[in-house]
Amino acid sequence: MLNIGKSMAQTTMKADVTPEEEQTSTFSIVAYDQENGDLGVAVQSKYFSVGPVVPWAEAGIGAVATQAYVNVSYGPRGLELLKDGLSVEEVVEALTKDDEGRDRRQLGIVDSRGNAATYTGPVCTPFAGGRLGENYAVQGNILEGEGVIDAMAEAFEAAHGELAERLVVALEAGEEAGGDARGRQSAALLVVRHGAGRSGYGDRYVELRVDDHETPIMELRRLLNLQFSNGFAYRSHGLLDEGKNEEALEIAIKSAILSPESDIAHLALCRAYYMNGATAKAVEEYQLAKAINEKVDFSVNRSERWKFILENEEFSQTTK
């Protein structure tokens, strides 16, 4: 069953049960950010290590979620078909028409213009279905009910911030609404952006996986906060290097708030406080960093950025 258009709903209420051990009982969202062109997928499942299976995306091309009685080839093949110029509707048709297992497949796809489609095979285990909205598609199978899909869509539409943040908000809402009928085990988040890979190589802006966890979405949220926190910390250092001390302090505070368990965040805040004349607070932040990671002195001893710690007597007891 193919679902095309804006704000449409699709459900498969009754179905033959397929072997559960072979299914990614899953809820996912694929989406496009029309502000900056980001494309992404977020997913949670009662399935070990869902990250290598369900989410696929390429900057400037599209994003795909393949699940249920999963055909992993739908991911890379779907992206190739988008590259060839097919519409999202044509991609779904091309993937499913010759697939003998299509009645048990589930698929979500969005292209680099925000066109979206969702497909649920008629014998996917209920509750199974999908929903489309502007620039996104939500889909799930073996769910507690249709409310999981609706909650994800509504949360995504109401959320603010980067696409990665909005995708996780959608997962959180789906879990709150009942989530996977069998429980929870793994989650993943993939967001692509041109040139946003490590050191400017590749397009993997965010690629986070929780393979096996009691509360995988909570852990995914922690990891996303940590990634954003690290980004703020590095940005703070750059601003300090440019002499923009007050702005750097604001950014460093955001870093520590997002990830209070990060020694990197507390080290950044230490330096920012010191450069703004708040030495006592800088010492406190350094103590927090060292309590989290007893080996922070290795970094301090190797960088000119931390020279003030070694030279200032107020830090002397902390560095011993």
Q: Which pairing describes strands 136-140 and 26-32: parallel, antiparallel, or unpaired?
A: antiparallel
Dihedrals phi, psi of 252, to nearest 5 degrees? -65, -35
Which tokens belong to 93? 């048709």
Q: Is the preceding omega at residue 298 within 30 degrees of 0, hence cis?
A: no
Average pLDDT, the chain: 92
Cis, peptide link before residue 127, omega less than 30° from 0? yes
Q: What is the mean pLDDT of each run of 10 residues along the chain (320 residues)?
A: 46 40 78 98 96 97 97 98 98 97 97 98 96 98 96 98 98 97 96 92 96 98 98 97 98 98 97 97 96 91 89 75
The H-assigned helical ranges of the chain are 74-83, 88-96, 146-158, 163-176, 216-241, 245-258, 263-275, 279-292, 296-300, 307-311, 316-319
Provide the token pair at 132.
């489309």
Q: The domain at 228-319 falls in which architecture?
A: Alpha Horseshoe (1.25)
Residues 17, 167: contact at Cβ < 8 Å? no
b/e burial code for range 71-110 (CB count within 10 A of at least 16 → b): beebbebbbebbeeebbbbebbeebbeeeeebbbbbbbbb
Query: What pTM value is reported for the model?
Result: 0.90
Which CATH architecture best describes the domain 2-213? 4-Layer Sandwich (3.60)
**Residues 4-32: tens digit of each pLDDT:** 444 444 444 333 434 444 566 789 999 99
The pLDDT of residue 320: 55
Distances 81 to 1, 93, 121, 201, 271 between C-alpha atoms, Å = 20, 11, 20, 24, 50
> For residue 111, what are its two tokens?
């292209």
- pLDDT recorded at residue 222: 98
Main-chain dihedrals φ then ψ at residue 197, nearest 5 degrees: -70, 175
What tokens does 74 get?
A: 């739908």
Query: Which amino acid is present at 251?
Result: I
Same fold, 2-213 and 228-319: no
For residues 18 and 29, give the distance between their C-alpha atoms in angstroms, rounded to a whole number.
23
Q: What is the pLDDT of residue 17?
A: 39
* HSE toward the beta carbon, residue 177, CA cutoff 13 A: 21
**One-character DSSP codes across 41-107:** EEEEESSTT-TTTSEEEETTTEEEEEEES--TTHHHHHHHHHHTT--HHHHHHHHHTT-TTGGGEEE
| Residue 277: Cβ within 10 Å count | 9
The secondary structure of the chain in percent helix, strand, coil, rounded to multiples of 5, reads: 45, 20, 35
Q: Are 136 and 31 in contact (CB under 8 A)?
A: yes
Q: Where are the domains of the chain?
A: 2-213, 228-319
Sign of the C-alpha dihedral computed for residues 95, 99, 181 and 22 taken in this order: negative
Quick one: pLDDT at residue 7? 41
Of the candidates 279, 283, 280, 278, the one whose C-alpha atom is nearest the C-alpha of residue 267 is 283
